[in-house]
Structure formats: C-alpha cells, structure tokens
Amino acid sequence: MVIDNDLVEIPLGISSKLYHIIFLFVLVLLVSACASSPIDTHSSLTPLWVTDLNKAFPDNAWLRVVERGTDKSAVENAAITKLGQTFHIDIRSFSLLNHQMYERISGADGKSVAIFDDSLDITQIVELNSAIDGLIGLRVESWTNPRDNVIYSVAYMNREEGVFRYTEAIRKNERIIAQLIDEARLHIGTIKAAQMLNLAYELAESTDNLNTILGVLSLSSLKQSLSYDNAQAIKVLLQDALREIIIAINVTGDANNRVLRAFTETINTKGIRTVQAGEGNYALDASLKIEDLDSNNSQFQFVRYTLEFSLVDSNRVELFSRSINGRAGHLNISEARNKAIQVAETTIRTTGFAESFKSFLESL
C-alpha cells in the first residue's frame, strides 16, 4: 500500500501531533487488513467445524481436534496425532503393532506360520489394521481457505459409535486370545505353543489399548476386568512356555566345549532351556571344521574354518540352518586354530547363530 502524504490535508482544529497519531493508527489498521485473510463465516462453502467446532461436534457426543497449516498431509497427520494424545497411547506404535499382526496372519511378511484353524475368527484383527492409524471410527476432513490457501483439518470420532465398536472389538479379541491360550496348552514344550502365545501377547497389548480408548470415549464403559487380565499376564504365560522348550545341543569338532558353551548361553538368554546331547523337544546339530592352509607367507600360518548348525524338531524336520566360513591367521598354526575358534564363538553370539535364532523366534 502506498499513501501519498502530499494529498493529505490536516482538518481544521486538529493539531499536527494529534493528526500524526490518528494517521498512524489508520495506517496500522489498513496494513493489518491487507496482511490477513479472515475466514468468511457467512459463506455456505465454509464448513461449520471451521467457524464453530463445538456447534459442529458437541463435546458430549464427539472427540475432535482441528489443526491448520499449508501442507494437507502434514496437517491431517497433526490432527490425528493430537487426537491420539487424548487417549494417552502412542498412536504410531499402536498402528505398527496392528500392522505387524496383520502381516504375520496374512503372510504378507513372507515369514508367517499358519496357526489358525477355521474356528478362529481373525476378522477383527484385519479390521483393526484397516482403521486409520489403528483407531476404529476415526475420520478426517480437510478444507482450504480460498482467501489465503491455509488448510484446516479436523480429526473426529463419535463417542456412541466408538463405544459400540470398541466394546465389540474387545469382546472378539478376548475370545481369540482365549482360543490361542487353549491351543497353546495342547502343544506344551513346543515352539508352536510359544508361537501362539506370542501372538496372543501382541493381541493382548492391542486390546489393552482398545480398552484405554474405550475409557476415554466413555468412562462408564471402561472394562475394569478383561478375561485374560492384561498383556503382562500373557507375557508370563509366554515366558513359561519358552521354559518348557528343551533344545539338545550336539557339537562335533569342539575345543574344550567352547562352541557348546557359546550356543548354550545364546539360547538360554531367550529363556529356553538346553541340554548337552540329551533328550529334548528340539535338537541343534552343529559342527566346527578347521583345516590348515598352505601358505607362501613365511611369517604367518593360516587355517580355514567352517561353522555349520541346524535346528530340527522331534521329527527331524529342519526349522533353520546356516553355514559360515572364513580364514584366520597367526604366527604359528596352533594360535591360528585358536583364533579360528574365537571367531566361531563370537559369530555364534552375534551375527551368526544369534541373529538366525532371533529372526526365527521373531517369525513365530
């Protein structure tokens, strides 16, 4: 805005100092009017929730949050996140947990093991995964102010609808958890039992969150007692199931039980018991082979090592296996062999067996 002071006349009776004060006040108002783009509250195109949120979504019937900005995706995510904070849970983690459960059930991760029979209803788990960020009944609307292109997004949930749907979801999940626990009891001492209880634990974590959400939607609807107690109780059952698993370790080519000890300690950290070459629900067959290599180097002597291991069930069905090899060198052949054994021990405890065993358990 450009104002030509030469065209401004000072009215009679107004002092120069007072005139300048009035002039500056009017200038501020004009600049402010040009800089801002207020919402047209009278336009039929402006959503009511933008101008009067409580009238559009009364608090006694709705949970709702409005955010604004210039990027639609960011604004909508901000609204969802802020609404999620109302429930005192980590919405992103909650959504990820539901997504991981769905992937393993559907086999989308390529690692799923079929554990459900026709009597188990997994519909609700699938429904949870399809909900926005894991929140059943969450809806998002956006509107752009044509005056300044500012984007407004509202995330909202109907309390009455939410109470009905979350109560039903909890009921279904309780039934699935009970079925998983019952099935696990038929397979005590097996990895299948741990597999089912692991899924029951994840589903219980999700259901605990559902109950928390239910309590925010309607405190009177909060379930004070769940049929499975809580997720921590299922975790205890899972830990007990892992202790019922016994893996018999058989190692050939060992040196003073060093390889055996590395396998034993790695497995025991997962809460699973081991025995040496005895009777177990499962067997870990391992071997360490070390062979001297011809070397043209007069200073160093080298050996090649090969570490192999295979985990099998009571029917000798292989669950996973791996072969690792490499070289080790030292000033004399005896120390080169010792170095190879040290490398094998480290490999078992870290990137070799430990990694394979961890991936196997996580795939359950």
- pLDDT attached to residue 12: 45
Low-confidence residues of the chain: pLDDT under 70: 1-44, 90-134, 297-298, 364
Q: Which two tokens stand for residue 39?
A: 């919402």
What is the distance between the alpha carbons of residues 87 and 219, in angstroms, rounded to a whole number? 12
Neighbours of 335 (CB within 10 A): 14
- pLDDT attached to residue 129: 41
What is the distance between the alpha carbons of residues 364 and 362, in angstroms, rounded to a whole number? 5
- pLDDT attached to residue 279: 79
What is the distance between the alpha carbons of residues 287 and 343, in angstroms, rounded to a whole number? 14
- pLDDT attached to residue 64: 95
- pLDDT attached to residue 121: 46
Q: Helix, strand, coil % (nearest 5) of the chain?
A: 50, 20, 30
Domain boundaries along the sequence of the chain: 5-35, 48-242, 245-362
- pLDDT attached to residue 32: 44
For the stretch 302-351, pLDDT in tens is: 889 999 999 998 888 999 899 998 888 888 888 889 999 999 999 999 98
Calculate the CA 321 to chain-centre distance.
28
pTM assigned to the model = 0.69
For the stretch 212-266, pLDDT in tens is: 889 999 988 888 889 999 999 999 999 999 999 999 999 999 989 999 999 999 9
- pLDDT attached to residue 351: 82
Q: Using alpha carbons only, what angle is made at residue 257 by residues 255 and 262, rounded to the nearest 5 degrees?
A: 110
- pLDDT attached to residue 301: 85
Q: Where are the alpha helices (DSSP H) in 107-222?
A: 123-130, 159-185, 191-217
Tell the CATH superfamily of the 245-362 domain: ABC-type transport auxiliary lipoprotein component (3.40.50.10610)
